Amino acid sequence: MLIYKIFRRSEWDALCSDGSTLGAPVDRADGFIHFSTAQQVMATAARHFQDESDLVLVASEAEALGDALRWEPSRGGALFPHLYRPMRLSDVVWDTSLPLGASGHIFPEGLV
């Protein structure tokens, strides 16, 4: 199962350069890296990145993250994937730009 992380371009560039990341400031403050499922990622983008246009959507294989990935209740009591270790560039299955259109972010076809 693929899970998704939204990065600001500068955060993505840092991950590509450094090979690992502790995530965005909110991830560091919470002590884990926030991910979303395919069904959750559009609401995550709308809620936390509403007016941001230079974003990167990253997919990771949940099973490959092992025991460091925990499913915990969050928004509306839904279970969200949280990674309790640095995210490595090798965890990334694919990445793509996440542009902002007139009615919200434009996600890859077939994601949801």
- Tens-digit pLDDT profile for residues 47-94: 999 999 999 999 999 999 999 999 999 878 899 999 999 999 999 999
**Structural domains in the chain (count):** 1
pTM score, whole prediction: 0.95
Q: Which domain holds residue 56?
A: 2-101
| pLDDT for position 77 | 87
Residue 54 lies in a domain: yes
Would you say residue 110 has pLDDT above 90? no
The residue whose two tokens read 């246009």 is: 53
Residue 64 lies in a domain: yes
CATH assignment of the domain containing 56: 3.20.170.20
Residue 106 lies in a domain: no
